[in-house]
Structure 1
Amino acid sequence: MSDPFFSTDLLGEFDRLQRQMASLFPGFPASLRAMRSETFPPLNIGSTDDSVEIVAFAPGLDPSAIDVSIDKGLLTISGERKPPESRSGDDTRVYASERFMGAFRRVVELPQHADPDKVNARYVNGCLTISVGRSEASKPRAITVQ
């Protein structure tokens, strides 16, 4: 006995579902391969009581080739990832290349309570961690009731 709601072509059903999802979310990449190159490096952004924390995942970069700046409340991370040097006599044909190569630039709007004078950036194991301190007036504090 067959189920009237599902066909026996499971792959066809998955294809139909993917088309429906794509129509619901236009412009959303269908896979990692479909992501635009402008999304390099991917970022995690969070905060603590004392700072705003930004982590950029950028393996394989020379830390001296990464520029970090703050201007008018905007944090900018820029640089360039160069392709690896080809070996002499290397006749490898590339069929797919998923690693981003070229110039990149990411801009993050900082909250008003961020203090651009309290910035620390470090690059360890392919992760650029930027910590932007909060201004003293915006930090949580206890008030004594008299």
Structure 2
Amino acid sequence: MIYRAQFPRSLFADLDRLQREMQQAFSSSSPSIRGLGRGGYPAMNIGHTPSSVEIYVFLPGIDPQAIEVQVEKGVLVVAGDKKEDVPQETEKEISHINERFSGRFRRVVTLPEDIDPDQIEARYRDGVLHICIQRRATSQPRQITVQ
């Protein structure tokens, strides 16, 4: 958890915080179903079942038409644009912290080799994009009867 003072006390404290955040951003690798990424917008949950890969992307307040989902060569890309929905600052009103993301976003996930790129569903409901990617039938476990 990152602690931030509501009202910055010193320039050096802010520079130190910025340096830590930059180191964290560059030290984490891109997320894949084999490991978890840290941070980033939008937040994602990635998991799997024996028959599919399940990805949940949390995109509250975004028009589904503004979301782009692509799969190419085993890589899933979720991109889009989040419009700014907060009022602009005025002379009398100054923001000290604005943690709501706005602007262009892009998340990239490396997928396992056994997915079927022709069997992908993407559904957006209540601010959550659910992407279900089926695995190839040949890679799914099956019970073999012993005679």
Q: Alignment partner for residue 23 of structure 2, among 18, 24, 27?
A: 27
CA deviation profile, 1:62-119 (whole Å, cap 9, x unmatched): 00100000000000000010112748x9964322210011100001011011111000
Structure 1 stretches of 4+ moved >6 Å: none
Unaligned runs of 5+ in 1: 1-22, 30-37
The percentage of aligned residue pairs carrying the same residue is: 44
Q: Distance in 1 between matches of 2:42 and 2:81?
A: 11
Q: Give the CA RMSD over aligned residues.
A: 2.6
Residue 139 of structure 2 corresponds to 138
1:50 aligns with: 51
Deviation at 1:49, TM superposition (A): 1.5
Aligned residues: 114
Matches within 5 A, 1:1-146: 27-28=23-24, 39-84=40-85, 86=87, 92-146=93-147
Matched residues in 1 for 2:91 and 2:141: separation?
Answer: 59
- 2:127 & 2:91 partners in 1: Cα distance? 27
Please tell me whether Structure 1 or Structure 2 has the larger radius of gyration of its CA atoms: 1
d(CA) in 1 for partners of 2:92, 2:129: 34
Gaps of at least 5 residues in structure 2 are 1-19, 26-38
TM-score by length of 2: 0.69
Cα distance, 1:58 vs structure 2? 1.1
SS of aligned partner of 1:64:
helix
Using the TM superposition, give the Cα deviation of residue 48 of structure 1 relative to its aligned residue in structure 2, in angstroms.
Answer: 0.7
- Secondary structure at 1:108's aligned position in 2? strand
- CA–CA distance in structure 2, aligned partners of residues 46 and 104 of structure 1: 22
